[in-house]
Chain A
């Protein structure tokens, strides 16, 4: 009997070895283990779908626990957007620096005449500076959202960065409204001078005379380059305003997916807008001699006006009934 007992025990042990499986193999077949693999769960959801629960408060959006598309949105903001912004803004700065080194400052060919002509009235300059000053604060506070954590936080510390960001965010929200007002007024007062025409095609063909000394294609009140800036400001500003409106008042038009789309539009347009305005600021200040006076005092030197806006000067002289060698608002330059 002892012998038969040993054989029985041996057979039982062999059966155990035969049917026994490693612990890991057992776990891999547990339904609960499959269910908690987040990647598989999220990938099983279609784009835009959400994992939602039930809540008792009126805010239905609070019931959304997970929105898989939000990962793509987050990756865009952390990954692609800084590259888009960095390339657009730093690329423009580098381009302008190279242009300044190669071309130098665009100077007046005949020098200052000492006579000036009114280029922008007070209300026009007020509108320009209203929009421009708001834009600068909006741009800096917006860049803080995208780059502040990386660039400013290490310099000033968490407390100072938090305080600055809170104020910047408030300024961004509220200065957006006078910015939008400025956009509308600018559109109304300058649209008539910014309709593209045949003169602009010739101006573009000659590259605006920017690359060659002493060669200035004719232009009316605004040349093709200035018209381009005008439409960038109007169209870009309109896109920024509409998208910004949906960010200030979230869920105004749709669900969280649409909100994410508008944030992407707002951020990408903002980066391109800032890059374009850097070019505008450059050519209106250090890039071109005598250009800043137009928005500074409102009056530009007659020689400057004749070189850059010859057709406009002729129109003004005709309006004033002045001979071609005189100016309608000739006053001593400051």
Chain B
């Protein structure tokens, strides 16, 4: 049981670390695809979060 609980905790912690890391690397589309010549308006939110 202890091993099982440890595995669940590790999975949750690892997933959280991945979430923080990926979210720090990736940018919302409105930021990533805006240039000095073209501004992309904030597309808002959809089912999966900020667009």
Contact = CB atoms under 8 A, between A and B. Distances in A.
Given A58-B33, A166-B47, A174-B18, A130 B40 contact: no
B51 interface: no
B11 A178 contact: yes
A177 B13 CA distance: 11
A178 B47 contact: no
B3 to A, nearest CB: 5
B15 A178 contact: yes
B11 A175 contact: yes
Interface string B1-18: 001101110110011101
A150 interface: no
Nearest to B39: A57
A169 B6 CA distance: 24
B50 to A, nearest CB: 12
A59 interface: yes
Given A56-B38, A170-B19, A126 B6 contact: yes
Interface residues of A, number: 27
Interface in B17-43: 18-19, 22, 29, 32-35, 37-38, 40
A251 to B, nearest CB: 12
B30 to A, nearest CB: 10
B32 to A, nearest CB: 8
A322 interface: no
Contacts of B16: 174
B14 A178 contact: yes
A130 B10 contact: yes
Given A57-B34, A126-B6, A129-B7, A174 B29 contact: no
6 contacts: A56-B35, A58-B35, A59-B29, A129-B3, A175-B15, A178-B15
Interface of A: 56-59, 62, 122, 125-130, 133-134, 162, 165-166, 169-171, 173-175, 177-178, 181, 298
